[in-house]
């Protein structure tokens, strides 16, 4: 069911979110929860949720939802990296990218890239995915207990 | 984190809209102060930024040349709201002596950081307090 929350240890979870602006707060909450489960500190959880909000906003404004009216969010994490994917069923038009980079959508992309360690855009016919990745190490001092 | 308490309630009703908390409203300036003050609070995202645009545009349309937007209690601001700020600044600048000032104190460092990363602080003056912003607006025009 859409809206079910299943972040467990930040390993892997999915959420289908109705493609409505009123759902953005839920997307941020989901992202913040995943970032916290991954072990990011409060500031980086905030930045992660900010970047996710931008990607979801783009999907709602410019993408196309699936047949149920949803966009797809998913979280994957291993020890080093937390990756959040936002997928819609639109076809990203590369020819518009120049226009995009100078627009509000472009501003969102620029902010994402400033705050994340990697931003990846995967465009295929009928599927546009933005993957946001952040590394654990910046907030996790390498504490080694003497053995 | 605190959102856990409410998380289980989500998704049970298609009618249930989970909007973030926000506030946008006009606030009175002091006697003899010709500054239109708009205060915003909470989460200003794409669901809300059109209301911010309308509120600021209403003042520009009414010919108010000095605008102050207080973001002190804003907890979240996205790129669409930042676009609204840029648009409002351009519109008010077209008025003779027009100027927009933002208030966002150091204690609101997360929002301040977003404004800095977005480059807003190089386009629109950001002040620590309303009094400072009002003084600067009065001196400018």
Number of domains within chain A: 1
On whether residue A23 sits in a domain, the answer given is: yes
pLDDT given for residue A103 in this prediction: 66
Searching chain A, which residue's CA lies closest to the CA of residue B75? Answer: A46
A84/A65 Cα distance (integer angstroms): 18
pLDDT tens figures, B22-79: 999 999 998 889 999 999 999 999 999 999 999 999 999 999 999 999 999 999 999 9
**Architecture of the structural domain at B20-140:** 2-Layer Sandwich (3.30)
* A81-88 and A127-135 strand pairing: antiparallel
B86/B89 Cα distance (integer angstroms): 5
Beta-carbon separation of B110 and A46 below 8 A: yes
The full set of domain ranges for chain B reads 20-140
Beta-carbon separation of B78 and A108 below 8 A: yes
pLDDT tens figures, B49-61: 999 999 999 999 9
Parent domain of A81 = 12-136
Nearest Cα residue to A32 out of B30, B71, B2:
B2
Q: Region of B63 please: left (phi>0), alpha (psi -120 to 50) or beta.
A: left
On whether residue A1 sits in a domain, the answer given is: no
User: What does A32-62 look like in DSSP terms, one character per residue?
Assistant: HHHHHHHT--HHHHHHHHHHHHHHHHHHHHH
On whether residue A4 sits in a domain, the answer given is: no
Beta-carbon separation of A57 and B117 below 8 A: no
Searching chain B, which residue's CA lies closest to the CA of residue A52? Answer: B78
Q: At A45, which CATH number?
A: 3.30.565.10
pLDDT tens figures, A98-146: 555 556 667 888 999 999 999 999 999 999 999 999 999 764 444 444 4
B101 touches B69 (CB < 8 A): yes
One-letter-per-residue 3-state SS of B105-139: CCCCHHHHHHHHHCCHHHCCEEECCHHHHHHHHHH
Q: Which of A1, A50, A107 sits opposite B83 (nearest CB)?
A: A107
On whether residue A49 sits in a domain, the answer given is: yes
């Amino acid at each position: 069911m859409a809206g079910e929350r299943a972040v467990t240890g930040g390993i892997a979870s999915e959420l289908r979110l109705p493609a409505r602006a009123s759902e953005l707060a839920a997307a941020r909450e989901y992202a913040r929860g995943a970032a916290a489960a991954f072990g990011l500190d409060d500031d980086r959880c905030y930045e992660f949720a900010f970047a996710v909000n931008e990607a979801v906003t783009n999907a709602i404004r410019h993408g196309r939802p699936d047949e149920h009216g949803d966009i797809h969010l998913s979280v994957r994490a291993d020890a080093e990296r937390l990756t959040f994917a936002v997928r819609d069923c639109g076809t990203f038009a590369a020819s518009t990218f120049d226009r995009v980079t100078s627009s509000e959508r472009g501003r969102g992309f620029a902010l994402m890239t400033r705050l994340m360690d990697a931003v990846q855009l995967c465009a295929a016919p009928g599927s546009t995915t933005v993957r946001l990745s952040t590394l654990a190490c910046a907030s996790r001092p390498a504490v080694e207990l003497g053995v | 984190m605190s959102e856990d308490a409410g998380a289980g309630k989500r998704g049970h009703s298609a009618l249930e809209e989970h909007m973030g908390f926000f506030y946008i409203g006009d606030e009175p300036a002091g006697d003899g102060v010709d500054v239109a003050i708009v205060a915003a609070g909470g989460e200003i995202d794409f669901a809300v930024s059109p209301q911010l645009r309308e509120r600021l545009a209403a003042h520009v349309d009414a010919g108010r040349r000095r605008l102050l937007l207080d973001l002190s209690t804003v907890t979240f601001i996205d790129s669409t709201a930042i676009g609204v700020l840029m648009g409002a600044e351009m519109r008010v600048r077209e008025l003779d002596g027009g100027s927009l000032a933002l208030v966002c104190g150091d204690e609101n460092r997360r929002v301040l950081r977003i404004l800095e990363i977005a480059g807003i602080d190089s386009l629109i003056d950001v002040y620590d307090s309303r009094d400072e912003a009002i003084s600067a607006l009065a001196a400018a025009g």
